[in-house]
Structures are given as structure tokens and as C-alpha cells.
């Protein structure tokens, strides 16, 4: 699930199909909670390393690589390095060019996950007792292309569109090697080259501190947005080498989900990424970001308070945890007097686990990391509000497709014991169905507005006309263990991914079989094929149109410069849910407010609480005057915004 959005030695990584419930990085892995205890005995061992296929040998400027035969009549190359390992003195530095190799490189195994708090629900199970997984040496990418003999690789005008996938996971967890993200079917059925990339996560990917800025080679490195710089480095690798795989470096689409969708928007705003991609596709994305002040200042700074996990606060925790000083006040004084060079040395001497431990809040889940990111530094990324930057035309002028799932928020409500009861640690039943549906609709609509409507409206106001939008509505989920999953989860966050990639992979063979059954096979496969067509058509020429085979309903452009809900989007569903069709969006802040006001059954306290959490939590939406006078009874005397 990517919205919550949220080992040092290099060694080959065998792709493991543990009962890791990999899909939950995007949402579906929540199903693991239903039956995880009863399925422990099904945990398989490591899958065999693929056999090198000599017809996949490719000569790059860096050296020769050989991959393997994959599904859908494709070749795949896994674990290709696009930068030097960001370890030791290269931690918190811009990614450095990879060194060439002399011998043929076997590209048969995915690179290790980047260091993170492990989570079975994120597809990267903990590997240590403290709950961590992965390593710092992780800057690798993977390529899938239709199968070609070396002498048949397309060239010139025959080169194929390239689609670069940026995984989600709150930018704090995740891995491009998940089976769910296997690009073979998308590449093989649609005639595109698919690339999936890794990038540094959490505080190893986003960390801004004056001591590090003091040694930065340039303003981009001083930004602290190392994960974003990794993504740009991967795009440069694609520009320089993708032709050898039959891809067109002049026709590159970036696409990502959840935090990956946020990263797509960020790259649209990054001057350093100019010319490296030519279409942008954001799935369930957002414009969440942090100021330099929030990233660096102490949380109790009287003039400009920082985030509770700002770099100043983290340094204090690290000094105390390392035993350098006895307590936080002493750590603040010590850090203030420490030369920048000594503080840099101290920070780089911390093991990754020490760094991650400093981001764990008291009593919070071990897998949760709250890291402010990305940073509006003014060089790599705009310092101004990103909606304002879009509206002012300060972005890369490329076609944009953005969308979300209809029931984005149900996933998060389903994991909240306040709304879903549990028995024996498993999800059991919805406590109050009416309240559950109300909250799901309000919070889901807010997320859709933030990630789709507001960005597209701002782009439209700038004069940008090549905009497209969708909503994923497919919710034909069969009951599992007596639970009505269509009600509990519906078309939740990330549930489009198994259809987009055609993998039908939720991390466990048993769960995959339970979720994707024979009775829904024909319709879901038809929808999956349509989605692949639309995505590939957009990658080919910047408009989804009628798909790559021109046999689908025409996807019309989105146009709603006011953001008031007058745009049109494609609804993605199976025949039983209405099928593929264009519809009015009819969503905006005012529609959310109206729905809240019109809920006749709500008591005053609940109505005011929902205003605070749905509307008041967003600074640009909140209105104290509106809150005080909220119909029918106002909110005077209730907690303030």
C-alpha cells in the first residue's frame, strides 16, 4: 500500500515467493490478514534462478548483458545497475555513474530491496529481529521487451515506446522486483519496453541537513532529494542504453502508483528531468511535499517549527541512542557546537538500522516510518506550492494521464480496528456499515480530488490541453472466509495493479486463486487487456484513444479548469459494473462539503469531527468560519481546526 502514505553487503537476490502478501504494497495484500495464520505452512522456498537465454545478449556501452526468456514471448533483464552503490561516503550524495564491466553480466536476478522497515504486507518481509530488510546497495533496474534475436532488435522508426515504472510504498518501502510488477505481459502483448526502477527509500532517500548541504557538489545534491535524483539517474540510463533493447529514448513514459504517482508529478516539476520523459501517468498520486523548514528545523522552533522527524530532531535521537550524550537537551547543545565535518562523519557512521530506529515514534508500529519528503528546495523541485507551479506553467509540457480508484480509502478503514472488528487477529466484520460507507466515500473523494482533479485543473488553467483522467471501479471481489470483500474493500487503493500488469499476483498462490477465480476470469481478463491497451496507446502517442488495437470506447480528454467537477474521465469496470465508459467527474471540495452537510442522520459531534478530519485537515480547504457555522447546528464548542 503506498499511500501512508507510508544490510550493507551486496549479494544476489533470489526472487522469493514467501507468503509476503506482496500486493499489499498497492492494497490487495490486505487480504492476507484474513487467513495469514492458517497459511503459514504454504511459505515456499526460493524460486530457481532463470536460465540465461543467449538470444537476449545485448551489447551496451557499459558492457555485455544477457537476460532470460520471460512470459508473453518476452526477454527480461533483471538487476541492471544504473548507479554506483550509494554506500559509505556516497550515502546522501547524488547517484554516481556506474562503472563499466568487462565480462558478460548475467541479468538474471533482481537487485536487493533498498533498506527499509520490513513488512509482509509490503512484500518485503523483515529479515532481522528489529524488523528491517534490504540493503543500501540497491540502485538497480529491470527491463522487459518483446522477444527479439540480437540482429532483429528494432532500430530507427521501428523502436518501441518505453514505459518506466516507479513503485509506490510511501517512498519508505517497496521493491520493483515484486511479482505484481512483472512487466512481461504488458511488454509482450502491447509491443512496448517496460522498465522498473529502484530508488533510495525513507531517510536514505530524503534527508536534508545543513551539514550535508555544506559539502554538496551542487544545488541538486544540496536538495536532499536523493530518491528523486535516483529516479532521474535511472531515466538517464534509459536515455543512454534503452535502444539496445529496442526501446525509443525519444518516447519514454513515466508511470507510477501512490507514492510513485507523487514521484511522477515531482519529475514533471524537476528541471533536471527535462527531456528524459515525454508522457506522464500518475495513478493514485498526490502533491504531498515538505518545505526546507519542515525538513530541517527543530519541532519547537518558535519562528519556523520543523517536522517531528526533521533532521534536527533525528540528529538529537541519534546522539542519544549512540550514547554520545545522556539526553535530548544535551544532544541539542552538542550538535550546535559540532563542526559540520564531524557531524557528517557521525551520520555516515550510523548503520542503516540505527537511522531507521530514530524515525520510529513511541508506541508506533515497527514498520511505520514518518519521513518528511520530498523537499521543495527551490533547485531540484519548486519552492512554491506545486499546484501554483502547475497553474503558472512551470512544468514539463508533456501529455498527462491521471486517475485513482473509486474506493481509495476503504483499504485504510479496513485496517482500522475502530471500524472493522477482529477475531483471532483476523478481520471479522464492519462495526457500523453506514458509518463505514460514509467515511469511505468522503475520504476516497478527497484523495481523488487531491491526486487527480486539483492537479489536472491547475494544468488546464495553464493552457495545457493534453490531459486525460480515469477512475477504476472494478469491485467484483468474491467473498473470502465469509467476508463480503466487495463491501469491505471494493475498488480500493492499488487494486488496479494486478489488472494493469496482468499478473494476478497477490503474493500467495492460495490468495491469488481465492481472489481471481474462474467465475470472474473472462470479465477481469477483458478489463485487464483493455487497460493495457489504453496505457500502451498513451505511451505510444500521448493519447489513450481507442487503445492500441482501436477496438475500445474512445477515451476523451479531460477539461475542467475550474476544478468544480465538470471534467470527464474514463470509468474502468467490467460489464456487470457498467463497462468502459466516459462520465462526468462531478467532484470537488464543494461536493464533499455538500455531502457532509446533507447527511441527515449525523449527530452534531460526528458531523463536526468529519469536517475536521476530511476538510479541516487540509490547510487550503479548511475554513474556521465555515466550520463554526456548519449546517445545521454549527460547530461552536467542538474542538477547533
Q: What is the pLDDT of residues 372-393, one digit of tens each?
A: 999 999 999 999 999 999 999 9
* Most confidently predicted of 121-135, 282-296, 478-492: 282-296
Catalytic status, residue 408: yes
Average the pLDDT over each of 45-49, 586-590, 633-637 and give the range with the smallest value: 45-49
Neighbours of 358 (CB within 10 A): 20
| E strand residue ranges, 118-192 | 132-133, 140-146, 160-166
Q: How much is the pLDDT for 360?
A: 87
Is 19 a residue whose pLDDT tops 70? Answer: no
Among 87, 69, 137, 80, which Cα is nearest to 109's? 80
Residue 604 lies inside a defined structural domain of this protein = yes
The catalytically annotated residue of 117, 223, 258, 444 is: 258
| Arithmetic mean of pLDDT, 339-356 | 97
Range of the domain at 346: 292-357
Q: What is the mean pLDDT of the chain?
A: 90
Give the list of residues 6+ apart from residue 23 with CB closer than 8 angstroms, or none.
Answer: 29, 31, 123, 178, 180, 494, 497, 498, 505, 506, 507
Domain end, chosen from 303, 335, 357, is at 357
Average the pLDDT over each of 24-28, 177-181, 358-362, 468-472 and give the range with the smallest value: 24-28
Is 366 a residue whose pLDDT tops 60? Answer: no
Among 401, 422, 424, 416, which Cα is nearest to 543's? 401
Residue 331 lies inside a defined structural domain of this protein = yes
4, 495, 518, 540, 625 from 534: Cα distances, Å: 28, 17, 25, 10, 45
Q: Is 27 helix (H, G, I), strand (E, B) or coil?
A: coil
Residue 595 lies inside a defined structural domain of this protein = yes
Taking the C-alpha atoms of residue 247 and residue 195, their distance in angstroms, rounded to an integer, is 10
Q: Which helix (H) or strand (E) holds 21?
A: none
Residues 547, 540, 398, CA angle at the centre, nearest 5°?
Answer: 115
Is 435 a residue whose pLDDT tops 60? Answer: yes
| Arithmetic mean of pLDDT, 407-419 | 92
115, 191, 460, 467, 515 from 208: Cα distances, Å: 18, 41, 33, 34, 42
Name the DSSP class of 75: E
| Cβ-contact 508, 32 below 8 angstroms | yes
Residue 418 lies inside a defined structural domain of this protein = no
Is 364 a residue whose pLDDT tops 80? Answer: no
For the chain, helix, strand, coil in percent to 5 are 40, 15, 45
| Arithmetic mean of pLDDT, 404-426 | 88
Is 47 a residue whose pLDDT tops 70? Answer: no
Q: How far is CA 616 from the centre of its chain?
A: 25
The catalytically annotated residue of 493, 496, 512, 638 is: 493
Give the list of residues 6+ apart from residue 300 with CB closer than 8 angstroms, or none.
Answer: none
Domain end, chosen from 310, 325, 357, is at 357
Q: How much is the pLDDT for 122?
A: 72
Question: What are the grid coordinates assigned to 160, written together?
Answer: 518501441
Domain end, chosen from 329, 357, 385, is at 357
* Number of compact structural domains in the chain: 2
The phi-psi region of residue 618 (left if phi > 0; otherwise alpha if psi is between -120 and 50; otherwise beta) is: beta
Question: What are the grid coordinates assigned to 198, written together?
Answer: 529502484
Query: Band of the pLDDT at 38, cuts 50, 70, 90?
Result: very low
The catalytically annotated residue of 408, 496, 529, 638 is: 408
Bridge partners for 402 per DSSP: 282, 469
Q: How far is CA 440 from the centre of its chain?
A: 21
Residue 609 lies inside a defined structural domain of this protein = yes
Is 22 a residue whose pLDDT tops 60? Answer: no
| Arithmetic mean of pLDDT, 564-590 | 90
Query: Band of the pLDDT at 125, cuts 50, 70, 90?
Result: confident
Query: Band of the pLDDT at 510, cuts 50, 70, 90?
Result: low
Structure confidence by residue, pLDDT tens digits, 68-99: 999 999 999 999 999 999 999 999 999 999 99
Q: Which helix (H) or strand (E) holds 601?
A: none
Give the list of residues 6+ apart from residue 375 with CB closer than 8 angstroms, or none.
Answer: 206, 208, 223, 224, 225, 289, 290, 291, 292, 295, 381
Give the list of residues 6+ apart from residue 217 with CB closer than 8 angstroms, or none.
Answer: 93, 94
Q: Is 78 helix (H, G, I), strand (E, B) or coil?
A: strand
pLDDT above 90 covers what percent of the chain? Answer: 80
Residue 190 lies inside a defined structural domain of this protein = no
Taking the C-alpha atoms of residue 20 and residue 125, their distance in angstroms, rounded to an integer, is 6
- The alpha helices in 306-362, defined as continuous H runs, are 311-321, 328-337, 340-349, 352-357
Q: How much is the pLDDT for 4?
A: 40
Taking the C-alpha atoms of residue 416 and residue 482, their distance in angstroms, rounded to an integer, is 19
Is 506 a residue whose pLDDT tops 80? Answer: no
| Arithmetic mean of pLDDT, 572-588 | 94
Residue 601 lies inside a defined structural domain of this protein = yes
Query: Is pLDDT larger for residue 595 or for residue 560?
Result: 595
Residue 597 lies inside a defined structural domain of this protein = yes
Is 1 a residue whose pLDDT tops 80? Answer: no
Neighbours of 292 (CB within 10 A): 20
Amino acid at each position: 500500500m503506498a499511500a501512508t502514505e507510508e544490510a550493507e553487503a551486496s549479494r544476489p537476490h533470489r526472487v522469493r515467493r514467501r507468503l509476503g502478501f506482496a500486493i499489499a504494497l498497492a492494497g490487495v495484500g490486505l487480504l492476507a490478514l484474513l487467513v495469514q495464520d492458517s497459511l503459514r505452512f504454504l511459505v515456499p522456498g526460493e524460486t530457481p534462478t532463470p536460465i540465461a537465454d543467449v538470444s537476449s545478449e545485448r551489447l551496451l556501452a557499459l558492457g555485455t548483458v544477457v537476460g532470460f526468456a520471460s512470459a508473453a514471448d518476452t526477454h527480461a533483464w533483471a538487476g541492471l545497475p544504473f548507479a554506483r552503490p550509494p554506500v559509505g561516503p556516497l550515502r546522501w550524495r547524488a547517484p554516481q555513474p556506474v562503472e563499466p564491466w568487462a565480462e558478460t553480466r548475467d541479468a538474471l536476478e533482481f537487485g536487493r530491496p533498498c533498506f527499509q522497515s520490513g513488512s509482509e504486507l509490503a512484500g518485503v518481509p523483515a529479515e532481522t529481529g528489529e524488523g528491517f530488510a534490504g540493503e543500501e546497495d540497491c540502485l538497480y533496474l529491470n527491463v522487459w521487451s518483446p522477444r527479439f534475436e540480437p540482429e532483429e532488435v528494432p532500430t530507427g522508426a521501428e523502436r518501441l515506446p518505453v514505459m518506466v515504472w516507479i513503485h509506490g510504498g510511501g517512498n519508505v518501502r517497496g521493491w520493483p522486483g515484486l511479482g505484481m510488477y512483472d512487466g512481461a505481459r504488458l511488454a509482450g502483448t502491447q509491443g512496448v519496453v517496460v522498465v522498473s526502477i529502484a530508488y533510495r527509500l525513507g531517510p536514505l532517500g530524503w534527508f536534508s541537513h545543513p551539514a550535508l548541504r555544506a559539502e554538496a557538489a551542487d544545488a541538486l545534491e544540496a536538495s536532499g532529494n536523493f530518491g528523486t535524483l535516483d529516479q532521474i539517474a535511472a531515466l538517464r540510463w534509459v536515455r543512454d542504453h534503452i535502444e539496445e533493447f529496442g526501446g525509443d529514448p525519444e518516447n519514454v513514459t513515466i508511470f507510477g502508483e501512490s507514492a510513485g504517482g507523487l514521484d511522477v508529478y515531482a519529475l514533471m516539476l524537476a528541471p533536471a528531468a527535462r527531456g528524459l520523459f515525454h508522457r506522464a501517468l500518475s495513478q493514485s498520486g498526490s502533491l504531498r511535499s515538505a518545505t526546507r523548514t519542515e525538513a530541517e528545523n527543530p519541532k519547537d522552533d518558535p519562528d519556523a517549527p520543523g517536522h517531528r522527524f526533521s533532521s534536527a530532531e533525528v540528529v538529537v535521537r541519534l546522539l542519544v541512542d549512540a550514547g554520545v550524550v545522556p539526553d535530548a537537551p544535551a544532544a541539542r547543545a552538542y550538535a550546535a557546537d559540532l563542526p559540520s565535518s564531524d557531524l557528517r562523519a557521525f551520520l555516515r557512521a550510523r548503520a542503516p538500522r540505527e537511522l531507521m530506529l530514530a524515525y520510529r515514534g513511541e508506541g508506533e508500529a515497527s514498520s511505520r516510518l514518518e519521513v518528511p519528503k520530498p523537499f521543495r528546495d527551490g533547485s531540484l523541485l519548486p519552492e512554491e506550492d506545486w499546484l501554483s507551479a502547475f497553474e503558472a506553467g512551470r512544468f514539463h509540457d508533456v501529455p498527462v494521464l491521471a486517475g485513482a480508484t473509486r474506493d481509495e480509502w476503504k483499504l485504510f478503514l479496513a485496517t482500522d480496528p475502530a471500524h472493522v472488528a477482529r477475531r483471532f487477529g483476523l478481520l471479522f466484520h464492519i462495526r457500523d456499515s453506514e458509518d463505514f460507507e460514509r467515511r469511505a466515500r468522503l475520504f476516497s473523494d478527497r484523495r481523488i480530488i487531491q491526486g487527480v482533479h486539483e492537479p489536472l485543473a491547475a494544468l488546464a488553467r495553464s493552457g495545457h490541453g493534453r490531459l486525460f483522467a480515469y477512475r477504476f471501479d472494478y469491485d467484483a471481489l468474491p467473498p473470502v472466509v465469509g467476508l463480503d470483500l466487495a463491501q469491505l474493500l471494493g475498488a480500493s487503493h492499488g487494486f488496479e495493479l494486478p489488472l494493469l500488469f496482468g499478473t494476478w499476483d497477490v503474493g500467495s498462490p492460495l490468495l491469488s486463486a481465492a481472489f481471481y477465480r474462474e467465475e470472474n476470469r473472462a470479465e477481469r481478463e477483458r478489463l485487464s487487456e483493455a487497460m493495457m491497451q489504453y496505457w500502451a496507446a498513451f505511451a505510444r502517442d500521448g493519447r489513450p484513444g481507442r487503445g492500441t488495437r482501436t477496438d475500445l470506447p474512445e477515451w476523451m480528454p479531460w477539461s475542467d479548469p475550474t476544478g468544480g467537477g465538470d471534467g470527464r474521465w474514463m470509468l474502468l469496470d467490467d460489464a456487470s459494473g457498467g463497462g468502459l465508459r466516459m462520465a462526468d467527474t462531478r467532484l470537488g471540495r464543494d461536493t464533499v462539503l455538500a455531502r457532509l452537510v446533507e447527511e441527515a442522520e449525523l449527530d452534531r459531534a460526528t458531523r463536526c469531527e468529519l469536517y475536521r478530519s476530511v476538510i479541516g485537515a487540509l490547510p487550503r480547504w479548511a475554513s474556521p468560519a465555515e466550520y463554526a457555522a456548519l449546517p445545521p447546528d454549527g460547530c461552536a464548542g467542538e474542538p477547533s481546526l
